[in-house]
Amino acid sequence: MIFRQIRKISRRNSIKNREIEPDEIFIDSTNLPEFNTDQFEGRIERPISRFSLSVVVIVFFIIIVVFGWKIWDLQIDQGKNFASISERNRLDNSIIFADRGVVYDRNNTELIWNAKSEEDDFSRRKYIELNGLSHTLGYVSYPLKDDSGVYYQEEFIPKAGIEKLYNETLNGTSGLKIIETDALMEVQSESTTFPSKDGGNIILSIDAKVQNKMYEFIESLAGEVGFDGGAGVIVDINNGEVLSMASFPEYSSQVLSDGEPKEKITQYAQDKNNPYLNRTTSGLYTPGSTVKLFVSLGALNEKLITPEKQILSTGSISIPNPYFPDKESVFVDWKAHGYVDMRDAIAVSSNVYFYEVGGGFEGQKGLGIKNIEKYMRMFGFGEKTDIYDEVLEEKIGVIPNPEWKEENFDGEEWRVGDTYHTAIGQYGFQVTALQLSRAVAAIANGGKLYKPTLLLDGGGQSDRASVRKKHYPTVREGMRQAVTDGTAKGLYIPQVKIAAKTGTAQLGTTKTYVNSLVVGFFPYDNPKYAFAVIMEKGKQSNTIGALYIMRQLFEWMAINTPEYLK
């Protein structure tokens, strides 16, 4: 036993005292056991520090707190809101579009109606395929939706004409439908919350056939002899209802509502004659000799002349030139008429007669510019007719006067020559076709100035011109004489007796272009309708104008709509 212990002690001492070889010092650097160091083999494990454990615990605590707060926020704080959103995702609202009202002419011909569309949720507007009605009817813009199918424009937007003027009546009230879907977006049920209500129908005073023929006659003449455009109006003299209101050129209501073909819309935009302009209410024209009718009434009412007094027309009158005292200013007539009284002067359209009655000459006292303006305004010129009740554009026009000249001609003063030119409807005078027809209607009915209307049975509002009734027959007789033996003889037809007055208005400084006008009423013995036609900017050398439009129309009406000529 003792021997064994001695041997162990000896062995340990021998090891301690043994020499270490150099290769034994670097034995670990060669990783002879081939430990996988990426898997931590051959390394001494160390215990995780308390600091690392603390960091891990803190991170997990923060994560638990954040998730806990978020769960509370979603479930408690915003639970109702998300529940509502979820419900809305399940229930979808769909618009039930109402149909707009149908529009008829006075004969119950459909002018605008609705047609169901397979592509849209709403009915599309359809317009009668007759030329000459688009400015009257107008057009609409349809409801619009984005790429996701959501409507951002939920209404029909009226853009012009009847569609816009009477939108309050025509436009219906859209309804609402609720659609329930499941998670796969399949429809489970549908229910109507608010039913739609279609718009109201309206009946217009116009006769679509008459307006169409008037337009076609204007279009044809413009193409044949080179007028830029034209306008024609026929109104009932006893209530202001418009029977026809044609404006050339025009657009297509169907094209503009549908928005195609694009090439046609581009063509409208590039047309120098502006098919978007409604020439009956917004086209301004120099009225020419048609003004002489109202100058006559003013002169009679102011007791400046009697119907029988004659004035000599030798072809011109001359007055001293204000700028060159040694020279004269000459104002010409279109021909020498000799002695003419008022009826003759209207019939042959004597300029000299109306120079003297309007501005005065030698022994004949004239109305003067203030009275000319007064009587022109009395018959509705220089103001709106209010046919559109401020919903659509309507031009006022111009009656030249000293203030107008001062403003437009660098402060120049008014002279008698300006009055002469104004008295025959020149010198900056501008009127609309509707104003002319309304004013002539007042001559035909004895002084009642009706507010024009496009609705059947919608008229009746009127003012009365302050002219004695006894003076109207003289002017009417002069207009009839113009047809039987004067400048309007082209309207002397057997089918109906017509009273009329023509006008030719020179344009620009070169006077190479003119407007051609004719106004009047019919039947002469029992007046019912007044008319005005203006052909815009034709060559001065042309001898066919507005009067030819009405002759063709009267001949057509005698066959197709004789009821208007009786």
First to last CA, the chain: 162
The pTM of the full predicted model, rounded to 2 decimals, is 0.82
Residue 52 CB partners (closer than 8 Å, separation 6+)? none
Calculate the CA dihedral of residues 471, 474, 479, 480 and round it to 10 degrees.
130
Q: Does pLDDT of 145 surpass 70?
A: yes
Residue 566 in contact with residue 530, Cβ under 8 Å? no
Q: Which helix (H) or strand (E) holds 59?
A: helix 50-72
pLDDT digits (tens, 9 = 90+) for 344-380: 999 999 999 999 999 999 999 999 999 999 999 999 9
* DSSP character at residue 446: T
pLDDT digits (tens, 9 = 90+) for 461-475: 889 999 999 999 999
User: Which pLDDT belongs to residue 79?
Assistant: 62
Higher pLDDT, 6 or 303: 303
Q: What is the mean pLDDT of residues 162-190?
A: 79
Residue 104 in contact with residue 202, Cβ under 8 Å? yes
Beta bridge partners of 500: 520
User: Which pLDDT belongs to residue 552?
Assistant: 98
Of 78-82, 171-175, 288-292, 499-503, least confident by mean pLDDT is: 78-82
Check residue 362 and give left, alpha or beta (phi > 0: left; psi -120 to 50: alpha): left
Q: Does pLDDT of 15 surpass 60?
A: no
At residue 372, the 3 state secondary structure works out as helix
> In this structure, how many other beta carbons lie within 10 angstroms of the beta carbon of residue 431?
30
In the chain, the domains with their CATH numbers are 93-203 (3.90.1310.10), 208-565 (3.40.710.10)
User: Which pLDDT belongs to residue 101?
Assistant: 98
Q: What is the mean pLDDT of residues 64-74?
A: 72
Residues 470, 471, 474: CA angle, nearest 5 degrees? 115
pLDDT band at 34 (very low <50, low <70, confident <90, very high): low
Q: How far is CA 235 from CA 283, 437, 498, in A?
A: 18, 7, 15
Beta bridge partners of 279: none
CA atoms within 13 A on the CB side of 277: 17
User: Which pLDDT belongs to residue 515?
Assistant: 94
Structure tokens at 495: 């089918």
Q: Please classify residue 418 by burial: count the beta carbons closer than 10 Å to its beta carbon, then call 0-12 exposed, 13-18 middle and 19+ buried.
A: buried
User: Which pLDDT belongs to residue 177?
Assistant: 79
User: Which pLDDT belongs to residue 40?
Assistant: 55
User: Which pLDDT belongs to residue 3?
Assistant: 46
User: Which pLDDT belongs to residue 77?
Assistant: 63
Q: Does pLDDT of 24 surpass 60?
A: no
User: Which pLDDT belongs to residue 6?
Assistant: 46
User: Which pLDDT belongs to residue 30?
Assistant: 57
